[in-house]
Chains A and B, each alone.
Chain A
Amino acid sequence: MANELLFFMEVLVGGLLAGTMYSLVALGFVLIFKASATFNFSQGAMVFFSVLAFCGFMQDFNIPFVLAFILAALLMVVVGLCTERLVLRPLMNASEDTVLMATIGLGYVLEGLAQAAWGVEVRRLDLGIGDFPVPWIADNLKLFISALDITAGLVAAIMIIGLFLLFKYTKIGLGLRAVADDAGAASSIGIPLKHIMLLVWSAAGVVALVAGCMWGARAGVQFALVDLALKALPVLIIGGFSSIPGAIIGGLIIGAVEKILEVYIGPFFGGAIEGWAPYVLAIFFLLYRPEGLFGEKIIRRV
C-alpha cells in the first residue's frame, strides 16, 4: 500500500513539475495577452525559433553559453521589434480574430526562418543539468524526481515572482495594465504605446527562450516543440488568459492530470491519451467556467 502511495506521489510530483514546463510556455502567451489583448498564436514558434537560434549560436559558431544566450535574447528583442512594427501596428484597429490569424502567419514565418537558417535535424541541448533522478531526494524521500524538472520548477517560480512584481509595483507594469485595459485611453494620457508593445514582445521572446531551453534539454531541440507548445492553450483556458498565477496553476493542473490519467487510465485505452486529455479537460472548463480559474469575467457588450 505504501508503495502504491509512493508511486502515486511520484507520478503526481513528476506531473506537477512537468506542468511547470507548460506554464513557462503559457507565461509568454499571458504576457502579450495582458498587455495588448492580443492572442499570440506564434508563441510556440517563438519558443522553437529562440532555442534553435541559441543552439545554432553555440554549436555552429562556438560562441560560449552565456554570450549565446544573450545573443539569442537580443535576437528575440529584434523579432519583437519587427513584429510590433510590421504586424501589430498595421493591425491596430483590426478585429481580434484578424490579429489572431496574423499571428498564426507570424508563427509560420518564424518556424520557416528557423529551419532555413539552422536546419531541420534534431539538436541536443546540454544545459549541464541532467535529466535523471536527484540522488539525494531518491535516497531520503524515495521519490524519483528529475533534476531538470526541479530546475524548470525553480526557473518558473523565479520568473513568475519577477513578472508579478513587475506588473504590480513598477511604473512600467502600471503602464502595461493601462494599455491592456484601454489602449486608446492609455496613449492619450501619454503612455508610449510603441515602447510598451516592444517591451512586452521582447519579454515574451525571452520567456520563450527560457521555456525552449527547458524543453530542448529534455526532448531535444526539434520541430515537435511547436506542437508541445500548443498544449499551453488548454493551460491558458484553465488558468485564464490574463492571469500570470493562472498560467502557473493551469500548467500544474494540466501536468498532474495528464500524468495521472496516462498512468492510471491510459493502459485501458492503449496509452498516449496525454495527446488529447488536456484539450478535453479544457472543454469541460470552458463549459463551466469559460474565463478560467483566474481570468477576468468575459463581458460582451452589444
Chain B
Amino acid sequence: MKPIFMTYTKKDLINLAVCMVLSVLIIPTFIKTEYWYTSILIPWLCLALATIGQQIVMGYTGQLALGAAGFMAAGAFAMFNLILRVPDLGFVGSLIVSGLIAAAFGILFGLPSLKVRGIYLMVATLASQFFIIWMIDKFGWFKNYDSSGIITAQDIVILGKPFTTPLAMYFVCLAVTTILTLLAMNMARGSTGRNWMAVRDMDIAAESMGVSLLRTKVQAFAISAFYCGVAGALFAFCYLKSLEPVAFDIKLSFKILFMCILGGLGTINGAFIGAAFILLFPVLLNAIGNNVFHGAIDATIISSIEQVIFGLLMIIFMIYEPLGMAKLWENLKQSMRSKLSSSGIKGVKSPVLKK
C-alpha cells in the first residue's frame, strides 16, 4: 500500500474518516444519556490514550514497564498546579506542559532501562509509581495545601469558553486523543518507530546497526510518559473531576498493562480495543448480575469474578494469541476477505457454496 498523505495509506484515511464520522456525528446524535459520556466514553478515551503510552514503551520498544499510573498522576497534578499558578497558559498550553513534566519523570525513571530489562526493569519502574504518588501525597504544595485529600478539578476553559457539559468534555477528550493517536501512528511508522521495534526485537543487533540505545529507549520512555501524563490530566479533569493520589495507585497501572496486553502488543488500535474491553466488561458483568440474577449475587463477588476472568483471559491470550485482540480482529478480517474473494471471483459461485 502506497502512502498518500504523510505515512497514511488510503485505507488509513478511510478508517480515519469512518471513525471521525462515527465519533463526531453519529455518537452525539444518537446517544443522549449523560451516563454514556461520563462513565464510558470519556474514561475510554483517556485510558486508551494512556494505553497508547504503555504501548509505545512496552509494545513497540519491548521494555517491561509498570508505572503508567504514576506518570498519569504526575500529569494530572501538574495540570492542576499549572492552571492554578500559571493561568495565562490556558487549558491546551497547560495540557502540553503537564505532559512534558510527566515526560521528564519518564526520562528519569526510564534511565535504568539502559542497564536492565525484563522483570528487573519492571521493579525499577515500580519505583516511579510509588515515588510519584508518595511525593504528591506528602508535599502539600502539589495539592495547594488542601487538607481534605480530594481536590476538585478546575473547570475546563478553552479560549474563554467553558467546557463543562459531558458532551463538551467528550469533544475535548476526543480532539486530544485523535491528535495524539495520529501522532503516535506517525511515529510508529516512521524511523522513530522502526528504531523502537529494532530495539524490541533485538537490542544488540539494533545497536550494532547504529541505532543508539540511549536515545531510542529514553525517547520511548519520554514519549510514553508524555502520553500518560496528558491522559492522566484528562482523566482527572474530564472523568474524575477531582484529584486524589489514590486514584492513580498501582491497580490502575495493572489495569493499563492489561489493556495493553489484551488489546494487542505493538498495535495502536489494540490500545482502543483493550481499553474498551477492560472498561465495558465489568459494566456487562454488573448488568448480568442485576438483570439475570436480580442482585442475588453480591457486588464483591461480581468484582472478584471479574478479576478471575481478566486473569484467565490474560493466561489464555498468552498461550494462544500473545498478540491480543487486535490480532484476533485482524485474523477475522482476513478470513472474511478470503471467503469473500474465493466465493465471488468474477461472479462465478464456487461449487462448494452451491451445495
A→B interface (CB under 8 Å): 39, 41, 86-87, 90-91, 94, 96-102, 104-113, 115-116, 119-120, 227, 230, 233-234, 237, 241, 269-273, 275-276, 279-280, 282-283, 286-287, 290, 300, 302
Q: Taking the complex as formed, is B161 at the interface, i.e. its CB lies under 8 A from any CB of chain A?
A: no
Given contacts A91-B318, A108-B314, A109-B315, contact A237 B120 (CB under 8 A): yes
Select one of A91, A112, A273, A287 contacting B305, CB under 8 A. Answer: A112
Additional A-B contacts beyond A39-B119, A97-B64 (11; CB < 8 A) = A86-B315, A100-B64, A104-B254, A105-B312, A105-B318, A108-B308, A109-B311, A116-B305, A279-B127, A287-B115, A290-B116
Q: Is the CB of B126 within 8 A of A279?
A: yes
Task: Select from chain A the residue with minimum beta-carbon distance to B249.
Answer: A227
Select one of B131, B204, B318 contacting A279, CB under 8 A. Answer: B131
Q: Is the CB of B311 within 8 A of A107?
A: yes
Chain B count of residues within 8 A CB distance of the other chain: 43
Q: Is the CB of A270 within 8 A of B138?
A: yes
Q: How far is the CB of A96 from chain B (nearest CB, A)?
A: 6
Q: How far is the CB of A86 from chain B (nearest CB, A)?
A: 8
Select one of B130, B303, B318 contacting A94, CB under 8 A. Answer: B318
Q: How far is the CB of A266 from chain B (nearest CB, A)?
A: 10
Given contacts A112-B304, A270-B139, contact A101 B261 (CB under 8 A): yes
Q: How far is the CB of A276 from chain B (nearest CB, A)?
A: 4
Residues of A within 8 A of B306 (CB): 112
Residues of A within 8 A of B318 (CB): 91, 94, 98-99, 101-102, 105
Select one of B122, B204, B307 contacting A302, CB under 8 A. Answer: B204
Q: How far is the CB of A31 from chain B (nearest CB, A)?
A: 16
Q: Is the CB of B307 within 8 A of A286?
A: no
Q: How far is the CB of B110 from chain A (nearest CB, A)?
A: 11
In the complex, how many residue pairs between chain A and chain B have their CB atoms under 8 Å apart? 130
Q: Using a CB-CB cutoff of 8 Å, which residues 123-151 of chain B contact chain A?
A: 123-124, 126-127, 130-131, 134, 137-139
Cα–Cα, bound, A222→B235 (Å)? 29
Task: Select from chain B the residue with minimum beta-carbon distance to A266.
Answer: B138
B→A interface (CB under 8 Å): 64, 112, 115-116, 118-120, 122-124, 126-127, 130-131, 134, 137-139, 202, 204-205, 250, 254, 257, 261, 300-301, 303-315, 318-319, 322
Select one of B120, B122, B313 contacting A105, CB under 8 A. Answer: B313
Task: Select from chain A the residue with minimum beta-carbon distance to B306.
Answer: A112
Given contacts A112-B304, A119-B300, contact A283 B124 (CB under 8 A): yes
Task: Select from chain A the residue with minimum beta-carbon distance to B137.
Answer: A272
Q: Is the CB of B130 within 8 A of A275?
A: yes
Q: How far is the CB of A1 from chain B (nearest CB, A)?
A: 31
Residue from B120, B257, B261 having most chain A Cβ neighbours under 10 A: B120
Cα–Cα, bound, A116→B301 (Å)? 5
Residues of A within 8 A of B120 (CB): 237, 286, 290
Q: How far is the CB of A3 from chain B (nearest CB, A)?
A: 29
Residues of A within 8 A of B254 (CB): 104
Q: Is the CB of B322 within 8 A of A282?
A: no
